[in-house]
Amino acid sequence: MITFCIPLRSKQVSRDWEGVCRIFNRTLHSVYRQTDPNFRIYIACHEIPELEHHYDERVQFLVSDSPIPQTHDEMLLDKGWKIELISRKIREYGGGYTMLVDADDLVSNRIAEYAAQHPGENGFLSDTGYIYNEGDTYCKQVRRLHRTCGSCSIVNYTVEDLPEQMPENLWDERHVDTFIIRKSHRQIPDYMASLGRPLQTIPFPITVYVRNTGENHSMLKGNDLSWKRKVELLIQPRIPIERLREEFGF
């Protein structure tokens, strides 16, 4: 069993809530299209968006009563709070494989099947992934996408890895230093290795990092791509999204 976790920003801090819902619906449908039925999806949010597809009990919404963030930094704290809401549910089920997915990214429909075929591992990390600019007809494949995108790691959490109680308030950041699930996506692979629990390489790309939606957290300050990543993108060939539609749900 694998759990997919999707934190969703509030309507009150979205520039275009209808656009956020449209892109979120694409993400949710992408995750739900797994070839293996043994998965759960939790979405933590302030407001439950209108859904474009019907889903069964494997999809659950967790409504947050936390304060509405006002700044970019507070939005990141809000995202962490919502991740902790979900992590408590995972703890109730005894832990297990867990993948954090940003509410605008797309994922392979083969992830749950691969996890089911490889039980007992520390988790997985894909060596490559795709970057897609919203509105384009193509994407590009890059190495080490986890350094740029937050939807790349699958971690096998134990109960002890997950917080039993929520922080005292949204602004309490102590769990960032305590729990793996609150670590930056850039840190998780190295941190897991430092614990003697290295992530295994999954032998196919599992993520499409979607940019230029107008709502990306990391792009609000224009710092999501390093100069090395920009050079890499310049030299990589274009891959038509039609080639990836069946697997990723464009």
Q: Domain coordinates of the chain in residue numbers?
A: 2-126+145-203
What's this model's pTM, rounded to 2 decimal places?
Answer: 0.93
CA distance 206 to 232: 19
The one-letter amino acid code at 34 reads Q
pLDDT of residue 222: 52
CA distance 147 to 243: 25
CA distance 250 to 248: 6
Q: 227: which 2 tokens?
A: 């100069």
The domain made up of 2-126+145-203 has a fold known as Spore Coat Polysaccharide Biosynthesis Protein SpsA; Chain A (3.90.550)
The number of beta carbons lying within 10 Å of the beta carbon of residue 207 is 26
Q: 226: which 2 tokens?
A: 């390093």
Q: The sheet that has 239-240: what strands, in order across it?
A: 106-107, 207-211, 128-133, 138-143, 239-240
Task: Assess whether pLDDT exceeds 60 at residue 216.
Answer: no
Q: Tens digits of per-residue pLDDT, 70-95? A: 888 889 889 999 999 999 999 999 99
Task: Assess whether pLDDT exceeds 90 at residue 214.
Answer: no
Task: Assess whether pLDDT exceeds 70 at residue 227.
Answer: yes
pLDDT of residue 91: 96
Q: Tens digits of per-residue pLDDT, 188-199? A: 999 999 999 999
Q: Look over the chain and give the mean of its residue pLDDT values, rounded to a whole number.
A: 92
Q: Tens digits of per-residue pLDDT, 118-137? A: 999 999 999 999 999 999 99
